[in-house]
Amino acid sequence: MLSSIKFRLTALFLAISFVTLSGLGIFLYYQLESITIGSIDSHLHSEVQLIAGLIEVEQGRVKVDLNEIAVGDYAVPLSGHYFQVVEGKPADDGGFAADARYAADGGFAADAGSASARIVARSASLGRVDASLPFEELHFKGVHKTIEGPAKKPLRLGEQTFMIAGRTVTVQASESLKDTQRLLASYRDSLLMILPAVFFISAVVVFLLARFSLASINIFSEKVGAITEQNLGDRLEVKGLPSELLPLAENFNSMMSRLEESFEGQRRFLSDASHQLRTPAAVIKGYCDVTLGRDRSDEEYRDSLEKINGAVVRMTGVIERILESARAEGVSHGGAGFRELDLMEVVLDAVRLLKEGAQRRGVTISIKGGSQKVSGDRVRLVEAVSNVVDNAIKYNREGGEVLIELSAAGGYAALTVEDSGAGIEEGERARVFERFYRSDETSAEVAGSGLGLSIVRSIVQAHGGDVGCESRGGVGTRFILRLPLA
């Protein structure tokens, strides 16, 4: 279940959605709180300015005309809507020098000569229960803060200190946060109900979408599973596939082409190997049947055994070349056993092995170029070079020449082996590296298994290089081996 792509996509989407929506919900919650508190602060600021405009100093006494504002919620005891006017500086204990008296004219009065803070006026919602707002310090620029009110409920307080006729007067106005808290609580409860529902619906929708989207993969998998060794030629239909699956389908088709080619090569290999081994085996069986059919003279037995021995030698040679081909393909690319070596020394070792055969045919071998350092398996590289040079000798004309040249370009060492033989026709050049391939013209004239160049290609490719062939009929053939420089 946990390894399911549908489950992973759903879980990932829900995790992202949870973080996003939760973050958005929290952000909006605090934005709503900020807006509502800001609205209250703006209203309190207006109230403070209005009350400050009603303050007068007459005959040394601070007076406030409350007739215009001491109505509504300000007249209801402990309503949460309060105002208070204080003269002087706050005492150390935060209290007042004397309590204000509720005047018959709706105002309050205080002794102007007192140095301590005195309540000059307060709303009826405070005065009728003998309560007051906390007064702790002067704020000439005005402040807003949340406090605990007389009824032990949160209030939003706005206060500002003014200098009026040389007197320090602080105006305070407050408003209950009950409605604001109720609004925020309602919003919070709504989020707690809506978000789980949104997550559940999203999970179902995303799961269904993922299932629908991944249906193409299931179809793709079924088509892939239908391809076996019996129908390697089948390919996936890329038309109509989602763009995300196109590279996969194209790469799969490319892989199947290579696999089909490999299987076909294996079939040809088995067919050619059986053909190469069938002939000497038939010779051996034929001579055995004929020889054992009746008594023979010693000379006849010897002649039969010599022919059987020749067939065995040929069969052994084919088997050894097959094993060499298998070993060449088993050389690891960039193998751990590779060592830095001089390609010129490899060439000299190969020439020493073939020198006698070249002399018998009167073929001259020339070497040009200098030392080239490569990394590889010395034994295998000597085998590869020997196969190419041996072909240049065998398929050369009597008294011909073989030119071996070493050079370097583009980070590669190039080993060129050129002969002066009959050359290879254009239609056959592409097949000379196939196992057991031999042209009809040369197979009758020169003994061989047709595995030499296949072995060369396997060894060179295992060393990270490549091999190519250039030839023109009647002119000669040139083989070029390219190996990475060390």
Reported as a single tens digit per residue, the pLDDT across 40-81 is: 999 999 999 988 888 888 877 888 877 666 667 777 887 788
Domain spanning 334-484, CATH class? alpha beta
Strand ranges in 243-350 using DSSP code E only, listed in sequence order: 339-342
Residue 381, pLDDT above cutoff 60: yes
Residue 105, pLDDT above cutoff 60: no
pLDDT at 9: 79
pLDDT at 305: 86
Q: 3-state class of 78 per DSSP?
A: coil
- pLDDT tier for residue 287 given thresholds of 50, 70 and 90: confident
Residue 103, pLDDT above cutoff 50: no
Q: CA–CA separation, 89 vs 14, rounded Å? A: 58
| Share above pLDDT 70 across residues of the chain, in percent, rounded to a whole number | 84
pLDDT at 27: 92
DSSP letter (8 states) at residue 485:
B
Across the range 164-172, mean pLDDT stands at 90
Q: CA–CA separation, 212 vs 224, rounded Å? A: 20
Q: CA–CA separation, 351 vs 359, rounded Å? A: 11
Q: Structure tokens of 88? A: 């002087």
Q: Which residue has the higher pLDDT, 114 or 93?
A: 93
pTM given for the model: 0.47
- pLDDT tier for residue 100 given thresholds of 50, 70 and 90: very low
| Share above pLDDT 90 across residues of the chain, in percent, rounded to a whole number | 27
pLDDT at 98: 45
Residue 293, pLDDT above cutoff 90: no
Helices (H), 361-417: 378-394
With CA atoms as reference, report the closest residue to 156 among 34, 70, 29, 49: 34
pLDDT at 1: 53
Say if residues 367 and 395 touch (Cβ distance below 8 Å): no
- What is the chain's Cα-based Rg? 52
Burial (CB count within 10 angstroms: exposed 0-12, middle 13-18, buried 19+), residue 348? middle
Rounded to the nearest 5°, which phi and psi values hold at 217? -65, -40
Q: CA–CA separation, 16 vs 24, rounded Å? A: 12
Residue 143, pLDDT above cutoff 80: yes
Across the range 190-218, mean pLDDT stands at 83
Q: Which amino acid is at 22?
A: S
- pLDDT tier for residue 362 given thresholds of 50, 70 and 90: very high
Residue 415, pLDDT above cutoff 90: yes
Residue 12, pLDDT above cutoff 50: yes
- List own/partner pairs for 4-11 with CB under 8 A and 24 or more apart: 5/210, 5/214, 5/217, 6/207, 6/210, 6/211, 6/214, 9/206, 9/210, 10/203, 10/206, 10/207, 10/210
Across the range 200-221, mean pLDDT stands at 80
Mean pLDDT of the chain: 81
Q: How many CB atoms lie within 10 A of CB 189?
A: 10
Residue 109, pLDDT above cutoff 50: no
Residue 142: CA atoms inside 13 Å, Cβ hemisphere, count?
14
Q: CA–CA separation, 112 vs 164, rounded Å? A: 12
Q: Which residue has the higher pLDDT, 156 or 300?
A: 156
pLDDT at 43: 92
Q: Which residue has the higher pLDDT, 424 or 388?
A: 388
Across the range 206-231, mean pLDDT stands at 77
- pLDDT tier for residue 299 given thresholds of 50, 70 and 90: confident
Query: Largest alpha-carbon pair distance within the chain?
Result: 165
- pLDDT tier for residue 331 given thresholds of 50, 70 and 90: low
Residue 447, pLDDT above cutoff 60: no
Any idea where the domains of the chain sit in the sequence? 26-182, 246-327, 334-484
Rounded to the nearest 5°, which phi and psi values hold at 427? -70, -15
- pLDDT tier for residue 115 given thresholds of 50, 70 and 90: very low
Residue 469, pLDDT above cutoff 80: yes
Residue 236, pLDDT above cutoff 50: yes
Say if residues 394 and 363 touch (Cβ distance below 8 Å): no
Residue 332, pLDDT above cutoff 60: no
Say if residues 99 and 119 touch (Cβ distance below 8 Å): yes
Q: CA–CA separation, 231 vs 111, rounded Å? A: 111
Across the range 186-201, mean pLDDT stands at 88
Across the range 275-287, mean pLDDT stands at 75
Q: Is CATH 1.10.287.130 correct for 246-327?
A: yes
- CA distances (Å), origin 373, targets 135, 346, 353, 415: 94, 11, 22, 12
Q: Structure tokens of 133? A: 């707002």
pLDDT at 329: 58
Across the range 23-29, mean pLDDT stands at 91
Of 43-57, 267-281, 414-428, the range with the highest mean pLDDT is 43-57
Residue 132, pLDDT above cutoff 60: yes
Across the range 106-114, mean pLDDT stands at 39
Burial (CB count within 10 angstroms: exposed 0-12, middle 13-18, buried 19+), residue 258? exposed
Q: CA–CA separation, 116 vs 89, rounded Å? A: 6
Say if residues 146 and 101 touch (Cβ distance below 8 Å): no
Say if residues 139 and 169 touch (Cβ distance below 8 Å): no
